[in-house]
Every structure is written in C-alpha cells, then in structure tokens.
C-alpha cells in the first residue's frame, strides 16, 4: 500500500467554512430529520457555482488521504465514474497519479461547462451533466469503479431522501461490472448509510474504513488502514467509538458476481418503494 504523501494534494476551502457546511448537512440529513435543504436540486448548485466561479472545492477528504484506498480497489487502468464531481480536484489528481479514463458527472450544467473548459486539454477526463438517479445514457456494467464524495449525503438532505438514495444506489449497482467497486465517502455512520446501500436487488460485499476529518488533532488508537468490522445488521460493533466524533466513513462496496444488470428488477423495486 502506497503512502498517501506521494500523491498531489488537492486544495479545498477547508477550515471553519467547510466544517460549518458539513455540520449543516449532518443535521439536515434526511435519515435523522431536521431542516430539508435543496442540495439535491440542480438550481441550488447552478446558483452556487455561478457565485463561486468554479473555485476548487473538495468535500470531506482530499485525494492524498484517499489515495491508498483508491489505488487498492481501483487500479489506474480502471474505467471510473466520478459521481457529483463538482469543482473538486480529485479527478485531476488521479490523472496525475496515472488514471486514464474518468467520466465525471454532476447535476449542475454550470459546473460541468466550467470543468469542460478547464480540462479541455486533458483527454483522460470527460464531463457530462447528469442526475445520478437516472444514468440511463450508460449501458449496464459500463464501469469498474464509481466514487462518490458527498452526493448521496446531498440527496439525504432533500425531499424524498430514501427514494432518491435508492435510485442512486440502484443505478450505481447497474453500471458496475461484476466485481466492480462503489466507493462511498460520507459523514454517515453505518446505521445511517448501510440500510440505503443494501437495496434488496443489490448484492454488495462491504468493507468499511473510518478516517478522521482533516486537521483532527487527536491521537489515533488504530490504523486507518484497518477495516472496521460490521455486525450482521450492518452496524458498528457495540462499544466502538471513533476517535474523531466527526469522522468520515469510507464504504468500499464490491459488486458480487450475479447481482443486478440487464433484466434486473430495479424498476419494479422502485415502483414498490414509491407506492409505500
């Protein structure tokens, strides 16, 4: 496993501004009640990116911190789907680290156009405006790996959060090849995220890692590279408390051979959810 310090560092806004926004998202998460925000709507993000002018902003963790996990589960030759790419530098950093085929999608047409102009001379990066809840433009089993750093969390802050989460997860599952990996980086602990990952038609093998937020000053009692065991019900073991109460959770979800794809009951499952 390579050292994360060997990878380029992606700047982000960081500091109090980033912590305040993440805190707002945590408290408005649809899985736990609270205020509903417009994080799942294109209009919110279009206005935000116009205001910010496309300034780089990496949610949660930078590529340098995630690199050991990405390299372990997604070799550079992988065809990658970057979900909710926004203006983050993770894809740029991954190209610098040897990755050659990254499809970046975002619900905001504004940021997609900004990124197309910014990276017009980097053929390894492609950009498409798309809602992660409907990626029907892509064929089944089109990607080796999908990475999400904040998109599912955004959907969980909006209306009909469980249905939006189900649509996203089912679409990601459909697009991954057997043995492919969905890497979800989130503030949501297993009790809040595993139920959404474990859609009835999905068949994931989930490995969990827990990272302290950037700048955390506490002393780690365990290596971040050690997987954290989950109980049979998909929760943290009794008595397990992360050193950083605001930790980030990295769910590595491997698509087990024989799960969804062409002819899967995805649409029927969603219709059943909508009728509940």
pLDDT at residue 269 in the model: 42
Which of 27-31, 86-90, 128-132, 163-167 comes out lowest in average pLDDT?
27-31
User: Is 91 within 8 Å of 104 (Cβ atoms)?
Assistant: yes
The C-alpha angle 190, 194, 197, rounded to 5 degrees, equals: 150
Alpha-carbon torsion 59, 62, 68, 74, what sign? Answer: positive
**Per-residue pLDDT at 219 exceeds 70:** yes
| Of 32-36, 86-90, 96-100, 193-197, the least confident | 32-36
User: Does residue 209 sit in helix, strand or coil?
Assistant: strand
* Percentage of the chain lying above the pLDDT 90 cut: 70
Query: What pLDDT is attached to residue 7?
Result: 31
Number of domains in the chain: 1
Q: Are the beta carbons of 22 and 187 closer than 8 angstroms?
A: yes
pLDDT in tens, 40-75: 788 989 999 999 998 898 989 999 999 999 999 999
Q: Looking at the domain assignment, is residue 5 inside a domain?
A: no
Which domain CATH number covers 67? 3.40.50.150
- The answer to whether residue 3 scores a pLDDT higher than 50 is no
Between CA 50 and CA 52 the distance in angstroms is 6
* DSSP SS3 for 157: coil
Give me 233's structure tokens: 């019900």
pLDDT score, position 101: 99
Closest by Cα among 150, 207, 146, 208 to 173: 146
Instruction: Say yes or no to pLDDT of 131 above 60.
Output: yes
Residue 85 near residue 125, CB atoms below 8 Å? no
Residue 116 lies in a domain: yes
Per-residue confidence (pLDDT) for residue 158, from 0 to 100 = 84
Domain span holding position 124: 11-275
For the chain, the first-to-last Cα distance in angstroms comes to 46
Mean pLDDT of all residues in the chain?
A: 85
Cα 73 from Cα 53, distance rounded (Å) = 33
Residue 49 has what pLDDT? 94
4 within domain boundaries: no
Alpha carbons 97 and 67: distance in angstroms, whole number: 9
pTM strictly above 0.85: no
Asked if residue 123 belongs to a domain, the reply is yes
Residue 4 has pLDDT above 70, yes or no: no
Residue 186, SS3? strand
Q: Is the pLDDT of residue 8 over 70?
A: no
Query: Does a structural domain hold residue 64?
Result: yes
Q: Which pLDDT score, from 0 to 100, does residue 54 have?
A: 84
- pLDDT value for 30: 54
Q: What is the arithmetic mean of pLDDT over 174-196?
A: 97
Look at residues 88, 29, 42, 94 and name the one whose alpha carbon lies nearest to residue 66.
Answer: 94
Residue 1 lies in a domain: no
Q: pLDDT for 229-273, tens place per residue?
A: 999 999 999 999 999 999 999 999 999 976 544 334 344 444 444
6 domain-assigned: no
pLDDT at 16 over 70: no
| Cβ–Cβ < 8 Å for 34, 124 | no
Per the domain annotation, does 245 fall within a domain? yes
Sequence-separated contacts (24+) of 236-243 with Cβ below 8 Å: 236/189, 236/190, 236/191, 242/210, 242/212, 243/212, 243/216, 243/218, 243/219
- The span from the CA of 86 to the CA of 100, in Å, is 19
């Amino acid at each position: 496993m390579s050292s994360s310090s060997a990878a380029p560092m992606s700047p982000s806004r960081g500091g109090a501004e980033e912590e305040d926004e993440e805190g707002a998202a945590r408290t408005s998460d649809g899985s736990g009640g609270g205020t509903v925000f417009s994080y799942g709507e294109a209009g919110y993000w279009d206005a935000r990116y116009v205001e910010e002018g496309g300034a780089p902003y990496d949610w949660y963790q930078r590529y340098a911190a995630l690199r050991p996990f990405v390299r372990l589960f997604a070799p550079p030759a992988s065809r990658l789907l970057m979900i909710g790419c926004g203006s983050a530098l993770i894809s740029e950093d991954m190209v610098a680290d040897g990755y050659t085929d990254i499809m970046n999608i975002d619900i905001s047409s504004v940021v997609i156009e900004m990124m197309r102009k910014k990276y017009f001379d980097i053929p390894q990066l492609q950009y498409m405006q798309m809602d992660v809840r409907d990626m029907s433009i892509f064929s089944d089993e089109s990607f080796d790996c999908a990475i999400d750093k904040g998109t599912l969390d955004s959907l969980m802050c909006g209306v009909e959060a469980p249905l939006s989460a189900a649509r996203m997860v089912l679409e990601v599952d459909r697009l991954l090849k057997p043995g492919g990996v969905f890497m979800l980086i989130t503030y949501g602990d297993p009790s809040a995220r595993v139920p959404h990952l474990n859609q009835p038609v999905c068949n994931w093998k989930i490995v969990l890692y827990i990272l302290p937020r950037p700048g955390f000053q506490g002393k780690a009692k365990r290596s971040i590279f050690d997987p954290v065991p989950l109980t049979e019900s998909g929760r943290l073991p009794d008595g397990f408390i992360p050193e950083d109460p605001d930790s980030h959770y990295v769910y590595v979800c491997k698509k087990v051979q024989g799960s969804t794809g062409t002819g899967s009951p995805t649409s029927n499952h969603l219709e059943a959810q909508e009728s509940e």
